Amino acid sequence: MSKSEKPARIETPQAIRGTQDIFGADAEAFARVVESFERIRRLYRFRRVEMPVFEKTTVFSRSLGETTDVVSKEMYSFEDRGGESLTLRPEFTAGLARAYITNGWQQYAPVKLATHGPLFRYERPQKGRYRQFHQIDAEVIGAAEPTADVELLVMADQLLKELGIADGVTLQLNTLGDGESREAWRAALIEYFREHKASLSEDSQDRLERNPLRILDSKDPRDKPFTVDAPKIDDYLSSEAQDFFAKVTGDLDAAGVAWVRAPALVRGLDYYRHTAFEFVTDRLGAQGTVLGGGRYDGLMESLGGAPTPAVGWAAGIERLAMLVADAGQVKESRLNVAVVSEAAGLDQSACALGFGLRRKGVSVDVIASGGVKKRFAKAVKLNPQLILVLDDRGLSAGAFANLRVKSLTSNQSVATDLADDILQTLEQKFYVDDSFTIEHGRELQLRIDSPAQ
């Protein structure tokens, strides 16, 4: 083939804007969040569910309401080949409510559900804000009592503590009252904001008649001066709504969960009632809300179901993972070993030693291929707590291999249970002298039979 016939260079397609390929420490932090959530949801006896990534568009447009940011400008909607309008889920709650109705999950009510996975919103990508992002999600459906709200809040608090990121994250709590309180507050907000309409941002002018609560949630500095003096929900709460909120706050205090009152906190979605909350941090710049939720007693009816009280929360896994990574809370597996074979004839034994240790729950890398001289350096690069090296240099009669124990920092002490696991694994195949210990610099000739007395 002559030079001029060289095939055209193939252009590699780029990833879609706002999506992420998560790798390395970020992926470990991500996994840490999901693993902790799985553990905690079991402690609270939430049942795991797996949900479809897409739904009929009406599942979201009806339940979230046409006036919300998510429905009006953030949904990924498309027509499938059958001409049906479908949407990639922008949140979990609406799909879970749909499933509750269509599967007859009423029979399990009150039912505690937990899930996690990807969500899709057409937003301007920036740090902590993506077009495909991931949430963990917990919901209690069919429970009207404030104890359900409290259980979810205590669960969220425990999760943040377990992740080691609770310091610097504040629970902001509000009530939106019952339907009646909320309507009265809404009417007062419309009246108040009308007087200042000309000074509000375009978005807020637009929200004024349709969804005035959202103005309180505005991030536009032009709206800020007016939101401060806006009518407060407290002046419109029915006595039932007051009692409900008092029970939630009283129980939180009793459970030792710190909170602050945030009277202007409204959730972006129309179906919220009573409890509304966000766990907020100042460590992530503008994307400071890590977890948000509340009670959504009005949602089921908007999807054609029977009136059903429900409450839940969702947290962005990426935002939690950033906090976990910043706080240095990504822990390497405690038991982490590399087994290196420095002789081709010992490769299989190194693998067998690795398999044996893994069966005991020790995390192991085995390095038993490639140039023999480079293997130790490869092991060092993996940064294990301990390296076990097998070689066959200068063996005496009856010896099978030399075992050398190396730790990367020579003063590093080896966890006793790790040392025990290694000794037990060795003893399954070899005679191991009682006086041999797993410590940096220790060497042992592995013998298959007991040495002569």
Residues making contact with ligand ATP (CB under 6 A)? 91, 121, 123, 128-130, 133, 135, 268, 287, 289-292, 314-316, 318-319
Q: Please give the biggest Cα pair distance in the chain.
A: 101
Instruction: Find the shortest distance in angstroms from Cβ 215 to ligand ATP.
Output: 14
| Contact by Cβ (8 Å): 131, 305 | no
Least separation, in Å, of the C-beta of 137 and ligand ATP? 9
Minimum Å gap between C-beta 63 and ligand ATP is 13
- The values of phi and psi at residue 310, to 5°, are -160, 155
The least CB distance from residue 182 to ligand ATP, in Å, is 18
Task: Report the nearest approach of ligand ATP to the CB of residue 70 (Å).
Answer: 7
- Kindly tell me which of 77 and 289 has the beta carbon lying closer to ligand ATP: 289
Q: Order of strands, edge to edge, in the sheet holding 111-120?
A: 47-48, 111-120, 132-141, 310-316, 289-295, 273-281, 169-175, 260-261
Q: Give whichever of 130 and 296 is closer to ligand ATP, judged by the CB atom.
A: 130
Compare residues 291 and 388 and give the one whose CB is closer to ligand ATP.
291
C-beta of 240: minimal distance to ligand ATP in Å?
26
- CB-wise, 38 or 217, nearer to ligand ATP? 217
- Closer to ligand ATP at the Cβ: 100 or 130? 130
Q: Provide, rounded to whole angstroms, the least separation between the CB of residue 217 and ligand ATP.
A: 8
252 versus 290: smaller Cβ distance to ligand ATP: 290
Q: Which residue is nearest to ligand ATP (CB)?
A: 316
Amino acid at site 200: L
* In the complex, least distance from residue 90 CB atom to ligand ATP, rounded to whole angstroms: 8
Of the two residues 65 and 384, which places its CB atom closer to ligand ATP in the complex? 65
CB of residue 287 vs ligand ATP: minimum separation in angstroms? 6
Other CB atoms within 10 A of residue 201 CB: 16
Q: Which residues have C-beta within 8 Å of that of residue 200, sequence separation ≥ 6?
A: 193, 208, 215, 222, 223, 226
- State which residue, 292 or 356, has the beta carbon closest to ligand ATP: 292
**Closer to ligand ATP at the Cβ: 73 or 359?**
73
Q: Which of 12, 30, 10, 34 minimizes the C-alpha distance to 20?
A: 30
- What whole-number distance in Å separates Cα of residue 150 and Cα of residue 275? 10
